[in-house]
A and B are shown apart, each in its own frame.
Chain A
């Protein structure tokens, strides 16, 4: 699926419905869910909330969102050993993550970055892009993905 360009226009098309789903999952007003809000650091999301958000997005957009795929897709053709060592993301891995999570400001990437802390980087826009990628995949497959 790669990381072909996702336009701001595409993001803003899905953002209102995605923000509503995230707000419902987090029990907050939709206005609090800004595009650049970190789900964990700004909105207090926990692991159960990530599951809730993904399933709500699947229902809202009628797509299937493979869980745990962000790191795998960001890694691309890097092997797991090239991407991280001892639970810490390598320089090459960080470079791949920065490119894939282009919506995340560079200053939010801590050095060193632990693999376990990668979800702290995710913003609302990250999930919008997740939805768009799956919509594109469904379109390429010739129809709506079965949920």
Chain B
């Protein structure tokens, strides 16, 4: 079975759309999954915005992940929950789309994206424009059958021992040469999803946070937001990414960790992770 619209698609229905302005949709997290990380919730919002952007330019271009000024991780989600997705476009043209977006589950806000920018690239280099038009029509009509996403393959982060404990932490991610999500992201130009890079960056920041002085609350450090996220290049199947997390600032109840991702000498991405102190249970 083709992985197209299955292995990395997180919009089941489009409920309403004002061309070039706003779009509302939903996605049911398959109940069989062990979990659904916040990076995939962010991806769902981004995908909803992408549908609006593609429709606005008559499917000549599609956006790719580029910049997210702020991603607020408000609440975790559970498999089986229905995500209510919303995106408001500030602008869209053949060069870029800029948007804000949110996701709610059971009426609770779970993520908020602010000032996101996606460069627009020729759609036909990524996918069949007619298939996307047909999918767009389906999403607005009956909707897609929920449950197609079967989860992520293991993406182990190889964390290296640090010579500056509590200050920096390095890790290697070997992007798999093949994986189901490549069939959907994207059929004609497989690329490692920015959302999965974000997932790995958050994991590395959390790992570094385990070595920080315990916060004043006596609890753990928990990622609350990601800011100034920027993706500079595509990561192809089989490539190796080197990540470095560095403590930027720490107070009694807040810590900021910068994470940079490189392919060789080239900076591939960067993000700032804000962690706050969880109350001791």
Which A residues fall within an 8 A CB radius of B?
Answer: 24, 27, 46-49, 51-52, 55, 59, 64, 67-68, 147
Contacts and interface: CB of A to CB of B under 8 A. Distances in A.
Interface stretch (B3-11, B22-30, B77-85, B227-235): B227-235
A13 to B, nearest CB: 24
A48 B119 contact: yes
Contacts of B231: 48
Interface in B113-133: 115, 117, 119
B67 A59 contact: no
Minimum-distance CB pairs A-B, first 8: A67-B95, A52-B67, A55-B117, A51-B96, A48-B232, A48-B66, A51-B117, A55-B98
Nearest to B269: A48
B115 A51 contact: no
B117 A67 contact: no
B102 interface: no
Given A55-B67, A59-B115, A48 B230 contact: yes
Nearest to B98: A55
A52 B95 contact: no
B117 A52 contact: yes
Interface in B84-114: 90-91, 93, 95-96, 98
Contacts of A51: 66-67, 95-96, 117, 119
Interface residues of B, number: 16
Nearest to A47: B119
A6 to B, nearest CB: 25
A83 to B, nearest CB: 20
Nearest to B258: A27
Contacts of A24: 228
Interface string B235-257: 00000000000000000000000
Contacts of B67: 48, 51-52, 55
Contact of A67 (B66, B93, B115, B232): B93
Contacts of B119: 47-48, 51
10 contacts: A24-B228, A27-B270, A48-B66, A48-B230, A51-B66, A52-B117, A52-B230, A55-B115, A64-B91, A67-B93
B119 to A, nearest CB: 6
A146 B165 CA distance: 49
A113 B117 CA distance: 30
Contacts of B230: 48-49, 52
A24 B115 CA distance: 14
B65 to A, nearest CB: 10
A27 B270 CA distance: 10
